[in-house]
Amino acid sequence: MGKKFVIFQIGEGHYAIPLTEVSQIIRYENVTDVPTAPPFVDGVINIGGDVIPVVNLRSRFSLSTAEITRKNRVIILRRQDSRYGVLVDSVREVLDLDEDSIAPEAASVFGMKTEFVRGIAKIRDHVLVLLDIFKVLSTAPEVPIKEQGEK
């Protein structure tokens, strides 16, 4: 049985996170700057009275910053009572992936450290990295997510 995944892009990389972890996908709008937050936190947004941090995955992945375009999306994730937003370059699609089309990760892909990767799948011409997104979010700011920055 297939499981649904949200596929998004950051730089050249295609990433997937389970749809069950996603609560909504919105445009990058009304993000309030928080000066005391770590650099990879773009700010906060107010969703239904809750104040939700928006993590810039580009900067968390040590990529150069890019201007916000109309393709940018904020994926709102929910885990238990907490919600998080992650800013991605674009959201591509929602895909059904069969369990057996997912290979447990073997080596680092796009320079991602293996502990943040749940598995790898090949879709058409792309390699999809199944991301352990909550692990990315809960890891201390000093710890890089990638072995090195992408060119």
Partner 1 sequence: MTFSGLDEQKLLRAFLEESEELLEKLNDNLLQLERDTSNPDSINEIFRLTHSLKSESALLGFVRLSGIAHRLEDVFDGIRSGTVSLSRPLMDAIFSASDLIHEIIARISIGKSDEEIDSQSVIRELKQLAGLAPEIGTEGYGAAAPDRSERADEGGLVLGDFEYSQIMEALERGEKIYELTVMVSEEVELKYPRAYLVFNNLEMIANVIQTVPNMTVPQEDQLYRQLVVLLSSELDEEEIYSKACSVDLIERLELEVWDKTSIQDAVSASRGEETARAVAAAQTPSASRIEGTSIRVGTNKLNEIWQLVGELTIFKAQLSQLHDNVARQKGNESIKGEVERASDHLERITTEMQQAIMGTRMVPIAVLFNKFPRLVRDLSRKLGKNVDLEIHGKETEIDRTIVEVLSDPLTHIIRNSLDHGLEGPEDRRAAEKEEVGHIMISAHQQGGQVVIEIADDGRGLDVDKIRQKAGIASEVSDEEVIQTIFSPGFSTKEDVTDLSGRGVGMDIVATRIREELKGEVEVRSEPGESTLIRILLPLTLTILHSLVISCAGYYYAIPVQDIDETVRVLEEEIFKNKGSEVYSYEGNEMPLLRLDSVLIGPSEDQQNRRREHNGVVVEQRRGRVCLLVDELVEEEDLVIKPISELLNHRRLFSGVSVLGDGKIIFILDTARIMEIIETGGFDAI
51 lies in the site for partner 1, by CB under 8 A: yes
Figure out which of the listed residues 12, 50, 115, 147 binds partner 1, where binding follows CB under 8 A. Answer: 50
Helix (H) or strand (E) holding 107: none
- Find the shortest distance in angstroms from Cβ 124 to partner 1: 34
107 lies in the site for partner 1, by CB under 8 A: no
34 closest CA partner among 48, 26, 50, 45: 45
Residue closer to partner 1, measured from CB, 34 or 91: 34
Would you say the C-alpha torsion 47, 52, 44, 8 has a positive or negative sign? negative
Q: Supply 4's token pair.
A: 């649904």
24 lies in the site for partner 1, by CB under 8 A: no
The amino acid at residue 29 is: E
Using the rule CB under 8 A, give the single segment among 35-43, 65-73, 99-107, 118-126 that binds partner 1.
Answer: 35-43
146 closest CA partner among 42, 40, 46, 27: 40
Residue ranges that bind partner 1, judged by CB under 8 A: 30, 32-38, 41, 44, 46, 48-53, 55, 82, 84, 137-138, 141
